[in-house]
Amino acid sequence: MTTLDSLAVTRLRRWAHDRAAIRNGKVTRLSRDGWIERRSRAADARQVGVIDFERAFASLNPDDRLAVLLIYRDELPAAHAGDILHVSPQLATFRAARALSRLAEALDRLDLL
């Protein structure tokens, strides 16, 4: 795994965390003076980061996206991912690695790594 691939995995996990926080309404705003603006900017930056990541992620083939999510986000063993994808464990691992490299390139082009 290259450095860009490792950064892409980190960015994938950050995206999943940020997306869940936004979906669950856990983007909080503190009511103390001086903190409201900063928290608002942080929430906006989080939303922009999620949108930018999803744009790069959408450029992947749907089967490759699923392989990346199963193996790198959900950390399923290759055998289980292969069963879900209806392919061999080796092919599931290959698809995920290939897609991760493509995702890393797309994120690098958008300066998201």
* Residue in this structure with the two tokens 């994120």, named with its chain if needed: 107
One-letter amino acid of 23: R
Q: Cα 46 from chain centroid? A: 13
pLDDT in tens, 41-56: 666 777 778 888 888 8
State how far the alpha carbon of 7 is from the alpha carbons of 19, 45, 63, 68, 110, in Å. Answer: 18, 19, 21, 14, 14
Q: Average of pLDDT values for 7-32?
A: 74
List the domain boundaries for the chain.
3-109
Q: Which pTM does this prediction carry?
A: 0.73
Q: What is the pLDDT of residue 43?
A: 66
